Amino acid sequence: FIDTANLDEIAEAQALGILDGVTTNPSLMAKEGITGEQNILNHYVKICEIVDGDVSAEVISTDFEGMVKEGEALAALHPQIVVKLPLIADGIKACKYFSDKGIRTNVTLVFSAGQALLAAKAGATYVSPFLGRLDDISTDGLNLIAEIRQIYDNYQFNTQILAASIRHTMHVIDCAKLGSDVMTGPLKSITGLLKHPLTDIGLAKF
């Protein structure tokens, strides 16, 4: 997945033919100058029209009733929308509510294996561990991916591990080696996979 609200970047990744989805959030929207509820909702639809896969749309509320109301409105926007919920008690309750109704969810701001276990038990479609932010505080974010993979495999949870807060291309490779189902990162982390000096040298010789 690509983690952005920039339509040009999304279109570029889609044109490569390897894009499976998009994650975004209010801060990424604001970075693109998109503010106001209706503008944000319209932008989610524009993203869905570019990509074939899932588009995570985040709720802003932090209480159960607010998350349910916002989440139902987001899910109604487009069939590709996945409702993004924070891993707090009310977020887990909302995840269970949506799961029972067949609405797909992405539980975000996950920083421990215990949190990921709760999200899976509540029926989350995706769980988003933020490995880059753990790395930022001298904690091994990749180890968290490995722990979640082991727990999910132990109990055959269907929840997909969506490695988030990807900082660079090696994070992508490491997550793939550990068995993360999905990674979401900036365009440069995806296009970085194309690059190798020997490819450039070989091409020049040919």
Catalytic residue, chosen from 31, 46, 84, 205, is 84
Cβ atoms within 10 Å of 152's Cβ, excluding its own: 21
In Å, how far are 80, 86, 114, 118, 162 from 148, measured between CA atoms?
25, 17, 9, 11, 11
Contact indicator for 151, 116 with CB cutoff of 8 Å: yes
Residue with tokens 């797909």: 104
Here the tokens at position 170 are 């090696």
Q: Is 84 a catalytic residue?
A: yes
Instruction: Tell me the catalytic residues.
Output: 84
